[in-house]
């Protein structure tokens, strides 16, 4: 959030004000992040790298804090955040912190698994066995449900922090194919859509944001991928969390697709159809009753 405020500052004077006002937040956060990883002999990478956890509660949730080490999203987040803190030091006219740089360059590699079909994907965390995508039971993680946060390593976060685009592409499409979308939360699909956007797949991003259309099986509109597997999804945006908030988040991300000039297949008319249908169907659905404080015009 501090970085976003810095970027939004209108001129050099305003940016300098943000730097000095928020430097304590950024630099103290970085100090904690650099202090948290450690070399462990009994878990993780057996001392070869700096591991994250245990204990650790990952963004994916669904597992105990002593079962988790080296989650894909958090490893990338630590790397990104320490690099960003280094940029703040440089903006302040100071050298990068050598300890922070050492930590981020020696973090454990992102956990990669090979699926039964031979495809390589990222795993939720290193101790999620055999893989997060297993439907035959998993150990130390809840399997393909709860939050698919491993996609956020190249969705919420930018490229350049250890994520292989091909492996993340495999991860994205395996997530869309096998995830239990009837048991997800309101921010999960927007996050996955951001991953598709960074992988230059706008149609997949758009379809993921509007996955709600599978409830209605409208034959008159272009088909969406993974429709057959998502049969219990409702307009309440996964059935959990704030329905209105989820709806607004999806619409904002649609606007982001346009703002970033991402090519939308079939042009703006298709996008208009999707948005119109999404709003119309959701507002008429019995499961979505926007609260009074969040009326939609």
More confident residue, 220 or 192: 192
Contact 233, 211 (CB under 8 A): yes
pTM of the predicted model, to two decimals? 0.77
Contact 76, 110 (CB under 8 A): yes
Q: Tell me: the pLDDT tens digits for 123-182?
A: 999 999 999 999 788 999 988 988 999 999 998 999 999 999 999 999 999 999 999 887
Torsion angles phi and psi, residue 182, rounded to 5: -80, -5
Q: Does residue 292 register a pLDDT over 60?
A: no
How far does Cα 234 stand from its chain's mean position?
21
Q: Does residue 189 register a pLDDT over 50?
A: yes
* Burial degree of 236 (CB within 10 A; 0-12, 13-18, 19+): buried
Percent of the chain with pLDDT over 90: 58
Domain positions in the chain: 198-297
Question: pLDDT confidence of 278, banded at 50, 70, 90?
Answer: low
Q: Tell me: the pLDDT tens digits for 9-25?
A: 999 999 999 999 999 99
- CA separation for the pair 134, 174 (Å, rounded): 11
């Amino acid at each position: 959030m501090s970085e976003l405020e810095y970027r939004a500052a209108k001129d050099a004077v305003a940016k300098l004000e943000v730097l000095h006002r928020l430097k304590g937040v950024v630099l103290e956060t970085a100090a904690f992040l650099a202090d948290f990883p450690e070399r462990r002999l009994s878990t993780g990478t057996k001392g070869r790298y700096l591991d994250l956890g245990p204990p650790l509660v990952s963004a994916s949730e669904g597992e105990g804090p002593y079962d988790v080490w080296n989650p894909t999203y958090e490893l990338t987040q630590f790397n990104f955040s320490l690099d960003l803190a280094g940029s703040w030091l440089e903006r302040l006219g100071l050298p990068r912190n050598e300890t922070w740089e050492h930590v981020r360059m020696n973090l454990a590699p992102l956990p990669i698994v090979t699926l039964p079909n031979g495809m390589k994907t990222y795993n939720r965390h290193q101790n999620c066995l055999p893989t997060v995508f297993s439907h035959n039971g998993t150990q130390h993680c809840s399997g393909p449900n709860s939050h698919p946060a491993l996609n956020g390593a190249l969705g919420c976060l930018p490229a350049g922090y250890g994520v292989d685009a091909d492996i993340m592409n495999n991860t994205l499409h395996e997530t869309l194919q096998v995830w239990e979308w009837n048991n997800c939360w309101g921010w999960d699909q927007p996050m996955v859509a951001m991953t598709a956007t960074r992988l230059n797949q706008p149609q997949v991003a758009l379809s993921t944001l509007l996955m709600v259309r599978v409830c209605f099986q409208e034959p008159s509109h272009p088909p969406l991928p993974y429709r057959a597997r998502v049969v219990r999804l409702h307009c309440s945006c996964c059935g959990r969390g704030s329905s209105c908030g989820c709806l607004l988040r999806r619409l904002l991300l649609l606007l982001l697709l346009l703002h970033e000039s991402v090519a939308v297949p079939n042009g703006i008319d298709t996008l208009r159809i999707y948005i119109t249908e999404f709003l119309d169907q959701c507002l008429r659905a019995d499961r979505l009753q926007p609260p009074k404080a969040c009326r939609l015009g």
